[in-house]
A and B are shown apart, each in its own frame.
Chain A
Amino acid sequence: MTVEGFFERLRTEGRIVIVGASLAGLTAAETLRAEGFTGSLTMIGDEPYEPYDRPPLSKAVLLGKASPHRTDLPRRRELDADWRLGVAAAGLDLGARRVRLADGDEVEYDRLLIATGVRARPWPNETEAQLDGVFVLRTRDDAVALHRRLGAAPRRVFVIGAGFTGSEIASACRYQDLAVTVAERANAPLVGALGGVVGAVAAELQRENGVDLRTGVTVTALEGDTSGRVRAAHLSDGGVVETDVVVVSLGATRNTEWLTGSGLGAGPRGVACDAGCRAFDFRGIVTDDVFVAGDVARSPHPLFNYQFLSLEHWGNAVSQAEVAAHNMISPSADRRPHIWVPAFWSSQFGVNIKSVGVPTMGDQIMITQGSLAERRFVGAYGYQGRVIAAVSFDNTRWLQFYQQLIETAAPFPLEYSTVDRRPEGRRPIPADFPDPSLPTHGPTVTLSGYSPVDRRLVFTPARH
């Protein structure tokens, strides 16, 4: 059969299976149909819900502006898909092109998209994690449970981890006038994602809004009462905080366990794929029929030294799913690369925080517009003499300009004048990221090697 004939047949009669029925999975399905795919489409999701949006769960929902039950994603078109919801994928047979489901059923595919995302990292002590009043926040069910408990007038909420989610939860609690303590291992909130210079601003923001922020501490134990309800958190500095709601915000773990032993290059850091979203097997050979998109993917990016980036970003899930869907049904000459510039947002304590590029690669920062003291500014991050990222606090309109600087590898420090440039922003200062060898939960971008400049290769195959 000719190549054209093969793809014509794939587009009209092929069987496409998408594992993961959230933002990336839905976007890919919509894109496939939009591009004229008329074959069979199966959507597999471990949660019993149709695709819903997660960012509102830590923002609008906790602020009381939306119901946790009703954040379903809009549908831009009819999908005509076979939905297998509430059943997780349990295994993959690459040779037979089959996905095995947790209920024992099996689904065959011609093209597979892996979009299984991440899940909240639980509190490591299982007994303590089981205490009534201990929550994580990732899924709709998490949000429903937490929302209900916050509505029952708790005396104090205790948040473990001041990354974006933890900070947003603290913000929502203060908005509802709930007492809240935040414990963070680093010396400020958001340090893992944005560095210490910006972290110091985030710390001030929390304290001014009445958050009892404890930095440089870890939580050593959660204590329950005789009825199994959490009553206190013990800190590494000897402090004890009485609380009846604990929210564990220690970042996320990638959902790749179901691929163990499949032969794919999948592990705790995600599923490796090429810039065209095709999955690598564990030998580093690219597959032709398995694609990856969203939080679970790690893919190389030319702007960032071809490092494999794992991005837990809403916009990445959309963009990568569109590229993956297009490439799944296109011959190689028509395929597109996924070279989306990382971007994310957070809103907390009434401040809009946005970023483009990869701040964690930056070793220096300069405040090119506004001022840290006013908490309205743009900071540009530099790496090896070029602009690698930017962050804005209540200054989002300028970010697109910085994105162009990043895309064109503009020189750093920025020499020319910018609107609202202040004297203190003329010189770069260290961005103050924590030692990357220490575990942090904050970054929403994980640099996971191998950079071509590393000139070394460590390869340890897991039980394959």
Chain B
Amino acid sequence: MRVVVDLNKCQGYAQCAFLAPDVFALHGEESLVYDPCAGDEQRAQLARAVAACPVGAITADGTDDGAAPSAGPVRGTSDDR
């Protein structure tokens, strides 16, 4: 699954690093490092991380149709359906 994080929005809450530790990790105090191509076995953890991100910074394949929360004002217009 392809993943991208809007690191302008990311505020280092690290929920994703707890929920999907094989995909997301903190490097230092608050820098997020992630694997943009997570294995299919990560699907469930990834979905939880997308849903749990307090600032809606994570986009994965097909999240438009999934349970992802609105990604906020920047992508709001295209996420809102």
Chain A residues close to B by CB (< 8 Å): 30-31, 34-35, 53, 55-56, 59-60, 63, 65-67, 70-77, 314-315, 318-319, 322, 326, 340, 343-345, 347, 349-352, 354, 376, 394, 396-397
Task: List A contacts of B12 (CB < 8 A).
Answer: 352, 396-397
CB atoms of B78 and A352 under 8 A apart: no
User: A71 vs B37: C-alpha distance in the bound complex, in angstroms?
Assistant: 6
Task: List B contacts of A35 (CB < 8 A).
Answer: 77-78
Partner of A72, one of B10, B29, B36, B63: B36
Interchain nearest-CB distance for B39 vs A (Å): 11
User: A306 vs B48: C-alpha distance in the bound complex, in angstroms?
Assistant: 42
CB atoms of B29 and A394 under 8 A apart: yes
CB atoms of B28 and A345 under 8 A apart: no
Per-residue interface assignment for chain B, residues 12 to 44, with 1 indicating a CB less than 8 Å from any chain A CB and 0 otherwise: 100000000000010111111111110000000
CB atoms of A63 and B8 under 8 A apart: no
Q: What are 14 contact pairs spanning A and B, CB under 8 A? A: A34-B78, A65-B25, A70-B36, A70-B37, A74-B4, A74-B60, A314-B7, A315-B6, A315-B8, A318-B75, A345-B7, A347-B32, A352-B31, A376-B29
CB atoms of B75 and A322 under 8 A apart: yes
Interface centre among A35, A65, A315 (most CB of B within 10 A): A65
Task: List A contacts of B36 (CB < 8 A).
Answer: 53, 56, 60, 66, 70-72
Task: List A contacts of B59 (CB < 8 A).
Answer: 74, 76
Task: List B contacts of A55 (CB < 8 A).
Answer: 7
Please give the number of chain B residues whose Cβ is less than 8 angstroms from any Cβ of chain A in the complex. Answer: 35
Partner of A351, one of B4, B31, B34: B31
Interchain nearest-CB distance for A78 vs B (Å): 10
Closest to A340 in B: B74
CB atoms of B2 and A74 under 8 A apart: yes
CB atoms of A74 and B77 under 8 A apart: no
Q: Sort A-B residue pairs by CB-CB distance and give the 5 closest, nearest first.
A: A350-B28, A70-B37, A347-B31, A74-B2, A352-B31
Per-residue interface assignment for chain B, residues 41 to 56, with 1 indicating a CB less than 8 Å from any chain A CB and 0 otherwise: 0000000000000000
Task: List A contacts of B75 (CB < 8 A).
Answer: 318, 322
Partner of B31, one of A56, A75, A319, A350: A350
CB atoms of B2 and A75 under 8 A apart: yes
CB atoms of A72 and B62 under 8 A apart: no
Task: List A contacts of B63 (CB < 8 A).
Answer: 74, 76
Q: With A65-B25, A344-B8, A345-B8 in contact, is A76–B78 under 8 Å at CB?
A: yes
CB atoms of B1 and A74 under 8 A apart: yes
Task: List B contacts of A65 (CB < 8 A).
Answer: 25, 33-35
User: A72 vs B37: C-alpha distance in the bound complex, in angstroms?
Assistant: 7
CB atoms of A75 and B35 under 8 A apart: no
User: A63 vs B60: C-alpha distance in the bound complex, in angstroms?
Assistant: 22
Besides A34-B64, A352-B31, 15 other A-B contacts (C-beta < 8 A) = A63-B33, A65-B33, A66-B35, A74-B59, A74-B61, A74-B63, A75-B2, A76-B64, A77-B64, A322-B74, A344-B8, A347-B27, A347-B31, A349-B28, A350-B28
Task: List A contacts of B10 (CB < 8 A).
Answer: 345, 396
Q: With A394-B28, A394-B30 in contact, is A75–B61 under 8 Å at CB?
A: yes
Interchain nearest-CB distance for A401 vs B (Å): 12
Interchain nearest-CB distance for A376 vs B (Å): 8
CB atoms of B29 and A350 under 8 A apart: yes
User: A70 vs B1: C-alpha distance in the bound complex, in angstroms?
Assistant: 10
Interchain nearest-CB distance for B34 vs A (Å): 7
CB atoms of B11 and A397 under 8 A apart: yes
User: A319 vs B6: C-alpha distance in the bound complex, in angstroms?
Assistant: 12
CB atoms of B4 and A73 under 8 A apart: yes
User: A345 vs B6: C-alpha distance in the bound complex, in angstroms?
Assistant: 10
Partner of A347, one of B33, B77, B79: B33
CB atoms of B11 and A63 under 8 A apart: no
Closest to B63 in A: A76
Closest to A318 in B: B74
Closest to A400 in B: B11
Task: List A contacts of B1 (CB < 8 A).
Answer: 74
Interchain nearest-CB distance for A311 vs B (Å): 12
Closest to A70 in B: B37
CB atoms of B78 and A31 under 8 A apart: yes
Task: List B contacts of A76 (CB < 8 A).
Answer: 59, 61-64, 78-79
Task: List A contacts of B6 (CB < 8 A).
Answer: 314-315, 318
Interchain nearest-CB distance for A390 vs B (Å): 13
Interchain nearest-CB distance for B17 vs A (Å): 12
Closest to A55 in B: B7
Q: With A74-B1, A347-B33 in contact, is A314–B60 under 8 Å at CB?
A: no
